[in-house]
């Protein structure tokens, strides 16, 4: 019979057969799919898998550390952290156009990942390296049977590695839907913090700051976002809400009165949505008390923010993210 337990076992066996005695690498994004794919491969080939986590400095408060810890503790897999905050922020300096931001973040990510590959595989005389990807069944269908939607090419040569080194894809989730992936992840011992994680965009907070992305603005948004998430969790709303981006309107200012004086600060937008698959979404009717607590705390605790607004636009016409 078909159970989550034997899906996991079956995939572990298949991956072991595919990779044989070779090595594999996997880019962890912090999301469910790459973590579960990596956990399966780690069970199959042990320390011949190296995971790479590129920390672009655009994650939420304490998020990178929590992901690293949870992943290490639950899988025991080899994990290489690339601290690339400075490179990403330098590359993003002066950029305000959303598509431009996305392109820069994607390009820097590949650059960091390739550099990590060179370090991991550089002095091996292997001819094949395996690249693990968390492609799901809906991705396979959407791309007409191709290799998922990731922006990492399936066959590419990397400067510094043996000339004829080829990458072959390992995609243990290709036949699974999201809920099955979560179940397999739990089965393999990944904590809820990873398997029940709400969607979060690859470009991170870089596309939640409307205007130029700077370290100072990121820190302001991180504080506001952490308060919003804490209150949502306390109110028990994490499962009901698909996700709630908090967006900093960094180029907008408005007059306020905080403490004993006039302020001229920035607004944030709460964007709570319900959705089945992110293709369409409805704005979520948050309880007034929860909105009130979030608003009061953000304006009290984050001095640069003097106004909290709620986005009541469905998708379409508004996308979930603002950029
Ligand atoms: P939109 O804003 O298009 O978002 O309605 C739909 C879903 O996708 C997430 N999203 C991304 N996820 N890389 C990702 O991995 C991205 O560049 C990206 N942009 C948007 C968004 O958070 C929502 O869940």
Pocket of ligand 1 contains residue 319 by CB under 6 Å? yes
User: In this predicted structure, what is the pLDDT of residue 216?
Assistant: 98
Contact 278 CB / ligand 1 (< 6 Å): yes
**Complex ipTM tops 0.95:** yes
Ligand 1 geometric centre to CA of 321 (Å): 7
Atom of ligand 1 nearest to the CA of 319: 5
pLDDT, position 156: 52
Q: Is the pLDDT of residue 145 over 80?
A: no
Which of the two residues, 199 and 125, has the higher pLDDT score? 199
At residue 16, φ and ψ (nearest 5 deg) are -60, -40
Report pLDDT for 257: 93
Give the model's pLDDT for residue 158: 58
Is 29's C-beta closer than 6 angstroms to any atom of ligand 1?
no
Whether ligand 1 lies within 6 angstroms of the CB of 203 is answered as yes
CATH of domain 208-310: 3.30.300.10
Q: With pLDDT > 90 as the criterion, what percentage of the chain qualifies?
A: 83
What's the confidence (pLDDT) of residue 166?
77
Probe residue for ligand 1, chosen from 151, 199, 204, 315 as the CB with the greatest number of ligand atoms within 8 Å = 199
Q: Is 47 annotated as a binding residue?
A: no
Q: Is the CB of 98 under 6 A from ligand 1?
A: no
Position 157 confidence tier, pLDDT thresholds 50, 70, 90: low
CA distance 286 to 295: 13
State whether the beta carbon of 202 lies less than 6 angstroms from ligand 1.
yes
The pLDDT of residue 51 is 96
Q: What is the pLDDT of residue 4?
A: 84
End-to-end CA gap in the chain: 45
Tens-place pLDDT, residues 163-212: 677 789 999 999 999 999 999 999 999 999 999 999 999 999 999 999 99
Q: How far, in Å, CA of 100 to CA of 194, rounded?
A: 29
**Which pLDDT score is estimated for 17?**
98
Report whether pLDDT(266) > 90: yes
Nearest CA to ligand 1 atom 11: 201
- Assigned architecture for domain 4-195: 3-Layer(aba) Sandwich (3.40)
Categorize the per-residue pLDDT at 148 as very low, low, confident or very high, splitting at 50, 70 and 90.
very low
Residue ranges of the domains in the chain?
4-195, 208-310
What is the 258 CA–ligand 1 centroid distance (Å)?
A: 34
3-class SS at 315? strand
Assign 3 a pLDDT band (cuts: 50, 70, 90).
confident
Q: In this structure, what is the dihedral angle of CA atoms 69, 73, 77, 81, given to the nearest 10 degrees?
A: 10
Mean pLDDT score across all residues of the chain: 92
pLDDT tens-digit map of 230-261: 999 999 999 999 999 999 999 999 999 988 89
Q: What average pLDDT does this structure show over 97-112?
A: 95
Residue of 26, 61, 69, 70 lying closest to 44 (CA atoms): 26
Sorting pLDDT into bands at 50, 70 and 90, what band is 85? very high
Q: Nearest C-alpha to atom 4 of ligand 1 is from which residue?
A: 320
* Phi, psi dihedral angles at 155 (to 5 degrees): -125, 115
Query: What pLDDT is recorded for position 67?
Result: 94
* CB-ligand 1 contact for 274 (6 Å cutoff): no
Residue 123 is predicted with a pLDDT of 73
Atom index in ligand 1 nearest the CA of residue 318 equals: 5
Is 84:55 a contact under the CB 8 Å cutoff? yes
Q: Are 245 and 286 in contact (CB under 8 A)?
A: no
> Does the annotation list 30 as a binding residue?
yes
User: What is the reported pTM?
Assistant: 0.91
Q: For ligand 1, atom 14, which residue shows the shortest CA distance?
A: 201
pLDDT tens, position by position, 37-53: 999 999 999 999 999 99
């Amino acid at each position: 019979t078909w159970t989550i337990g034997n899906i996991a076992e079956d995939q572990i066996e298949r991956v072991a057969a595919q990779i044989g005695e070779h090595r594999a690498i996997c880019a962890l994004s912090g999301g469910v799919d790459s973590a579960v794919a990596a956990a399966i491969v780690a069970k199959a080939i042990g320390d011949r898998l190296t995971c790479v986590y590129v920390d672009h400095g655009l994650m939420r408060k304490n998020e990178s550390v929590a992901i690293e810890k949870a992943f290490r503790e639950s899988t025991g897999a080899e994990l290489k952290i690339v601290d690339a905050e400075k490179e990403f922020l330098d590359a993003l300096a002066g950029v305000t156009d959303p598509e431009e931001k996305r392109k820069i973040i994607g390009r820097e990510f590949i650059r960091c990942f390739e550099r990590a590959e060179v370090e991991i595989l550089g002095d091996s005389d292997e001819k094949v390296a395996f690249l693990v990807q968390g492609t799901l069944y809906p991705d396979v269908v959407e791309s007409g049977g191709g290799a998922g939607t990731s922006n990492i090419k399936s066959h590419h040569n990397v400067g510094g590695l043996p000339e004829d080194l080829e990458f072959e894809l390992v995609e243990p989730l290709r036949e699974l839907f999201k809920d099955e992936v979560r179940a397999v992840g739990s089965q393999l011992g990944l904590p809820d913090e990873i398997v029940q994680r709400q969607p979060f965009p690859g470009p991170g907070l870089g596309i939640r700051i409307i205007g130029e992305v700077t370290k100072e603005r990121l820190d302001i948004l991180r504080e506001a976002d952490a308060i919003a998430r804490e209150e949502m969790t306390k109110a028990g709303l994490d499962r009901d809400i698909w996700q709630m981006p908090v967006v900093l309107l960094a180029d907008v200012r408005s007059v306020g009165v905080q403490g004993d004086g006039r302020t001229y600060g920035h607004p944030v937008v709460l964007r709570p949505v319900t959705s089945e698959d992110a293709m369409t979404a409805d704005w979520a009717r948050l309880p007034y008390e929860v909105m009130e607590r979030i608003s009061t705390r953000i304006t009290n605790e984050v001095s640069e923010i003097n106004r909290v607004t709620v986005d009541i636009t469905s998708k379409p016409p508004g996308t979930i993210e603002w950029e």
